[in-house]
Structure 1
C-alpha cells in the first residue's frame, strides 16, 4: 500500500500534463516541461503502473489549490441530503444542497463533475494504450481502468442523471462536444465494463498494492448497478458470488472499520487510500469532525437517534453500532447538537481543540461486506425469498450483538431493511440518499423525508430534485448538454 500511495501526487500531476498534451493540437499551445508525450510514454510496465495509479488518484486527491478533495465533496455535500442527519452552520452552497436547492454555479458540483471526467479520460487512456504495449499482465491494467471508468460513470449518473457518456479519448474537436446519453445506455455501459473488468481482475492484491480493484469489488459495484435498475436476480448472482468466495467476513470490532486502525480488513471490498501529510489526502473527517464545535456540520437527527436508542443487546445495552458510530454522553437525553459522528474521526484529534481541517490518514471504504449482506437480503426479499433474506440480515445483526429478526412478511422486511437495518449499519457512509433515490425515484420521496424529520423534504419534488443541476460551466461550454429539469 505504501508504494501505491507514494506514487500518487507526482503521477496525478503527470496525468494532468498528459491530458493537456492530448488537447494541444486544437485547443492549447503548451509544452510539457518534462517532455513526456503519448508517443514516448506507453512503453514499459512502469508506464502502465504510473497510468493506472494516476487514474486511482483522481478519486482520492484534490488537484486545484483551495479545493476540497473528490471524496470530501461526495461525502459532505451529497450525504447531507439524506433523512438521517441534522445540519448546522451549512453555508452556501452546502446549505443549498441540503435544502434540495443546489445551484448550477456551485464550485463543489463543478469540481465533482470535473474530477469525474478527468478520471474517465485517464481510464480511457489506459484502455486504449495498454493493449498495444505487449505486457504479460496488460489485461489486468485494462480491467482496472474499466472498473474505474464504470465507477466514474456510476457516480455521475447517480448524482446528475443525464450525463455525457465517455468511452474513448477525444480525437477531434467534435469529440469534445458530445450530448447526453439516455440513462439506460449509461447503465448498460457500466454493466459491460464491470463484467469485462471482473473477468481479468485478481481476487486479491499483495500488501503493497492494497486499494486496487478486485473481482469482489467489480461484483459488488455491479450488484449496486443492478439494484438501481431493479434487476434483483442478477444482483443476487453477483452478491452470492462474493459471499461464496469465502474471502470476506465481518470484522468483530465495528468501530475499527472507521478509525484508521484496521484498514483493508476482511470486511473491506473496495477502499480508497488516504495518507497523512500530503496536500490532497483529505477525507470525511473534515465533514463530520467528532466533538468539534466551530466546524461541526451535522449530527444524527431525532429519527436516527431513536433507531440507535432501540438498537440494543438482549442485556439492554446499546449495540456496537451505536458505540462505534457516535460520541455522546447521554444519548437519550443529550441535545442533538451535543452528539457527534465518530465514524472517520481520528480519536487523537476528537476534541474541540484537536481538529485538523487539512487532512486525515483514515481511508474511505466505498463498499464493505455488511453492505453486500444487506443488498443480498434486499434482492432475495424482492424476489419473495423472505425467510432466506432474514438470515443475511441476521448475520449483520449478530456482529452488532442485537437479537435476530424472524417471521416478517415481504413488506415488513422491505421496510426493515430500508428504514432500520441499512441506516443503523451504514449511516454517514455516503450511501443513504442514493438508496432513497433508487427506492423512491418513481414514488414519493418527499413523504419519506418529512416522516423522518427533514423539513426541507416538504418541498422535495421527484421531477426536479432527484439529481443535481449540470454545472453551468459545462452547459455554457458545450451547447449539446441540456440542463436538468428545474434548474
Structure 2
C-alpha cells in the first residue's frame, strides 16, 4: 500500500506486507483499495507489519540515523570514498535544506507515521478478537511515537498527523515543541497500557510494554523531566524481564539477539523477499573487508576517551594489531583514514558467503537496558542525588570491569560532587553506547554541542543553529506553512 504523509509522496493507496515465518520475513501483496482491504484479522496484522517496515536499515529504506547520530558527532567522520557527498556536507556542518539525507529521513519516518495512522483509523472497525485488536492498536501507537521521537530529535517541532488525510489537507503548520512531546507521551502511554511484557515464537521483536515505557522515559529524559524519568524507569525494572548480559558483545551478535538486555530492537532478516537485511553490514565495513564501503570511521578523539584497560574500546572499534572477526586488523590506512572501524553492526565475512554483504542479519538495538540504567543515573545526578546515581552507574561499569583483563582499571565511581557525577555519567554514556546512534543527540540535549564540537576541531558548528537540522526544501516547497529552523533561511 503506497503511503507517505510526506507531501512529496501523498497517498491514497497502501503497500502492505504479508506475514511469513518471522513478522519481518514477508511478501508484498501489491496495491489494494484500502476500503476493500481492511476487512479481517489478517488484514489488521498485515497493516501493522507495514507500520514496522520503515524502521529497518535496509537498502530500500536507506535509513540514515547513523549519519545523524554518529558521523555528525565528535565520535566519527564520514570515511568512505568520494561518493555520498551530502554526508560529508553534514559532517562538516555545511548543511542546507536540499541535503538528500534530510529528505530521506523525513520521508521515511513520515511514511511510517502514515502507516500507523492507517492502522489506527481502519483497524478499530474490523470484526476480530478484541484482545488482539487492542494489542495491534498499541503497537501502532508505539510506532507512531517512535517515529515522531526520532524526527523531533532531528527537526524539532513537527507537523502532527494523527489521522489519514486527503492530499489537500496535508498542508498544516508545525506544532509547538510542547505539543510534539505531548503526542509522543500520549502514544507511548497508550501503548504501555495494552502491550504485553514479552512475545514468543514468530512475534518476538514486536513492540512490548517495556519498549513503550522506555520510549516514554526517553521522551521525559529529553525534556529534563527527571522525576518522571525515575518513575518510569522503576516501572520498567518492575517488569522483571530486563538485565545486563554478562558479555557486552552479546548485544551485537546474531546468535544472542532479542536478549534480556534488549528493550527495543529493530529486526533484520537476510535472504528475505522483499529484502529485510541490514545494509550497515556493507556501509560500515572497512574497504578491505569483503566489499565494505568504510563509512562512519571512529575518530582519535573517541578512542582516547576510554579509560586505559576498558574492554569496551576493542568491543566497539577495530584497530591495528587486534583481532577483527578472526583476522588481524591491518595498519594500512587505505582501509580507514583514521585507522579505526566501528564494529558493532558488522558480521564476520563467513556469514556473507551465500548472500550480498548489504543483506546483514544483525538487528539494531535501539534501546538497551544499559541505556535505561544510565537514564536513571543521569536523572538522579541532575536532581542532586549523586550517591543514588552511583548505583545504576556501577551496574554498567561492573560488567565492563568483569570483562577487563585488569579489573582495577575500571574502579567504581564514588563520592563525587553533583557536577562531577553528571560528567562521569556523560562519559559512561559515550563509552558504553558508542556507535549506537546516540552521541550527537546527547550533545544537543545537554546543551554542550557547541563546546564539544569546537573542542573537537569542528569549527563549522554554529551554536543555536546546528542543534537542529533544516526542514527539507522539498517539503517547504510543497507546504508553505512549514517554517524553517533558525539559521537556515527563513
TM-score after normalising by structure 1: 0.85
Task: Give the equivalent residue in structure 1 for 2:223.
Answer: 229
Q: Distance in 2 between matches of 1:133 and 1:193?
A: 21
Deviation by residue 1:104-124 (Cα, 9 ceiling, x = unmatched) = 222222121111111111101
> Cα deviation per residue 1:192-246 (whole Å; 9 max; x = unaligned)?
1111110001001112111111110011111110011110000111111112322
Equivalent residue in structure 2 for 1:326, among 294, 307, 317: 317
Structure 1 equivalent of residue 8 of structure 2: none
- Identify the residue that residue 96 of structure 2 maps to in structure 1: 103
Instruction: Give the counterpart of 1:10 among 20, 28, 31.
Output: 28
1:260 is the counterpart of 2:254: yes
Aligned to 2:396: 396
2:73 to 82, 99, 122: 82
Change (3 A) 1:292 1:356: farther
Shift of 1:290: 4.6
**How far apart, CA to CA, are the structure 2 residues paired with 1:477 and 1:86?**
33
Q: Is the 8 A contact 2:67 2:296 kept in 1?
A: no
Aligned mates of 1:329, 1:158 — CA distance in 2:
35
Deviation for aligned residue 1:77: 4.5
| Structure 2 unaligned residues grouped into runs of 5+ | 1-19, 323-329, 402-409
The CA deviation at 1:52 is 0.3
Query: How far has the Cα of 1:174 moved from its partner?
Result: 3.6
Structure 1 position 450 matched with structure 2 position 444: no
Write 1 or 2 for the structure with the bigger share of helix: 1
The answer for the alignment partner of 2:14 in structure 1 is none
Q: Distance in 1 between matches of 2:252 and 2:74?
A: 21
What root-mean-square deviation, in Å, do the aligned CA atoms of Structure 1 and Structure 2 show? Answer: 2.4
CA displacement at 1:371 relative to structure 2: 0.3
Q: Does 1:54 align with 2:50?
A: yes
| 8 Å Cα contact 2:78/2:87 also seen in 1 | no
Output the CA distance in 1 between the equivalents of 2:372 and 2:245.
Answer: 14
Residues 331-480 of structure 1: matches in 2 within 5 Å?
337-348=338-349, 357-401=357-401, 402-418=410-426, 420-440=427-447, 444-451=448-455, 453=456, 455-456=457-458, 458-480=459-481
2:485 maps to which residue?
484
Aligned residues: 442
Q: In 2, Cα distance between the equivalents of 1:355 and 1:460?
A: 40
What's the secondary structure of 1:295's corresponding residue?
coil
Q: Please report how far the alpha carbon of residue 485 of structure 1 lies from its aligned counterpart in structure 2 after TM superposition.
A: 2.3
Q: Which moved more, 1:374-383 or 1:52-61?
A: 52-61
- Other-structure match for 2:281: 285
CA distance in 2, matches of 1:286, 1:160: 28
**CA offset at residue 409 of structure 1?**
1.1
1:146 maps to what in 2?
141
Give me the TM-score of the superposition, normalised by structure 2.
0.85
